[in-house]
Amino acid sequence: MLRCKSLIALVIISGLYFHTTAQEIREYMDLQVHPTMHIPFSFFGKGMTWIDEEHPPKLRYKHFLKNISYANYFNHNKGLRIMVVGAITRENMWSRKNARKMLLRHFDYFKEFVKNNPEGFAIARTPQEVRELVNTTDKTIIIFSIENGRNIVDSQEDANFWAEQGVSFITLVHLMDSRYGASAIRPGFGTSLLNIKGLFRREKKRGLTEKGKQAIQWLANAGVMTDLTHMSDLTRKGALSFMEEKGIPPLVTHDMFKPIQNHPRGVEEEDVINIYRNKGLMSLPLSGESLMAFKPSEKYKAKLDSLTRYCNGSIDSYIFSYLALKVFIETNIAAIYGNTNLTLKDLDEKELVNISIGFQSDFNGWVNHHRPRYGKDGCYELVPGMAYEDIEVQGMAHPGLMDSHWKLMAKEGVDIEPVKRASEKFLQMWQQFLDRRGKFN
């Protein structure tokens, strides 16, 4: 009898666990945020700091060279339930040993932070752990990633090592050309100066290298995704072609949509289709400043010109780019699925997960975000007695304001389901890599 009861209990527990981990989730997931920039750059302060909520620091959307990683605002954050924290090294760090050591310092920092704040935060090293935490707690969930693969993925053993640390993806190329391929050089002085060799290299020589192909394959076989963000046009195209050949789903965490942001960080329409056709995911930066139009195509320039109310650099810039990408993807379902008769209406809920659009705030102390719509730094005067969302009057001053960001979009009738589905899509992709370890040949 005792054995029978134990067996029944085990079946019930197993059933509950399976239900918890198999349930599809719909959470706001930031595909990369950098709360520990003080590790590579000590002038950023102390990382995740707790503030006096009765006397909070003044928040502004302009936070260049400022540490704004206030733990209070990440804690139980409905607009940012899951945060992929990106460990990062300095661009001029050439030592493989020192680069690995610095990246591990990021992960150790978060482990210690969670150990000291277990009531509000948790680390997930697998998709199953994410699902369990989502369904059984209200904690803010931390996932590990790395931005800048320079000198850290030179063998299968290297890739396996990062998988063992719980790393979900690595942004292989960052702000400088490397042995893997070329970096996108955005208009302006900053990235040009950083990547001076790439600036003067002929474009046809700025593609994905054999080392880059090896690194992508090594990572896939370790169960780690490759993020194509920051790659030059030719390197990105080479990566997409190689990944299609090997059956490796592509991930883009914070590049733009080239018909609106017509520079090397913009992804061309045909490449967007290839990303989704090969069961990948594209994500946009959240920053209105990053998403301001740059030499847009005539089609999108005309749309922008036709808008009666549009505050450039505010949440309006994000909404415009997001809707443009969403409409483009949804009107190209036939090309994505290879079925000329297929439309968005033909997809069921599980298939719709593949048509997700992620977001990435990239809060790192180097970039600004949404300006306000209203007030001193906005485009319009405040109207007395009018109720505003925080995002409209403060701008995106901190990740803690993301809940206001999504609330405003919902109020204005913007369909944000593709954003909420992106968490499930990301977990499915990650799980696929883990399930196929050693089989991407």
pLDDT digits (tens, 9 = 90+) for 319-349: 999 999 999 999 999 999 999 899 999 999 8
Give domain status of residue 340, yes or no. Answer: no
Give domain status of residue 74, yes or no. Answer: yes
CB 299 within 8 A of CB 259: yes
Q: Report the chain's mean pLDDT, rounded to a whole number.
A: 91
What pLDDT is stored for residue 392 in this prediction?
A: 95
Return the amino acid letter for 381.
E
Give domain status of residue 246, yes or no. Answer: yes
CB 325 within 8 A of CB 282: yes
- pLDDT band for position 28 (50/70/90)? very high
pLDDT above 80 (res 55): yes
Give domain status of residue 107, yes or no. Answer: yes
Give domain status of residue 17, yes or no. Answer: no
- pLDDT band for position 198 (50/70/90)? low
Radius of gyration of the chain from its Cα atoms, rounded to whole angstroms: 22
- pLDDT band for position 11 (50/70/90)? very low
As for how many domains the chain has, the answer is 1
Q: Which range marks the domain in which residue 39 is found?
A: 25-310+359-368+415-435
Give domain status of residue 37, yes or no. Answer: yes
- pLDDT band for position 77 (50/70/90)? confident
For the segment 227-235, the average pLDDT, to the nearest whole number, is: 96
The secondary structure of 386-400 as a DSSP string is ----HHHHT-S-SGG
Q: Which of the 8 DSSP states describes residue 43?
A: G
Lowest mean pLDDT among 193-202, 284-293, 314-323: 193-202
Residues counted in the chain: 441
Lowest mean pLDDT among 128-132, 248-252, 293-297, 385-389: 385-389
Distance CA 333, CA 187 (A): 32
Give domain status of residue 377, yes or no. Answer: no
What pLDDT is stored for residue 9 in this prediction?
A: 47
pLDDT above 60 (res 314): yes
The 3-state DSSP class for residue 385 equals coil
Per-residue b or e along 301-320, where b marks 16 or more CB atoms closer than 10 Å to that residue's CB: eebbeeeeebbebbbbbbbb
Question: Tell me, what CATH number does 424's domain have?
Answer: 3.20.20.140
For the segment 259-288, the average pLDDT, to the nearest whole number, is: 97
For 206-227, how does the pLDDT look when each residue is reduced to its tens digit (9 = 90+)? Answer: 799 999 999 999 999 999 999 9
Give domain status of residue 405, yes or no. Answer: no
For 298-309, how does the pLDDT look when each residue is reduced to its tens digit (9 = 90+)? Answer: 999 999 999 999
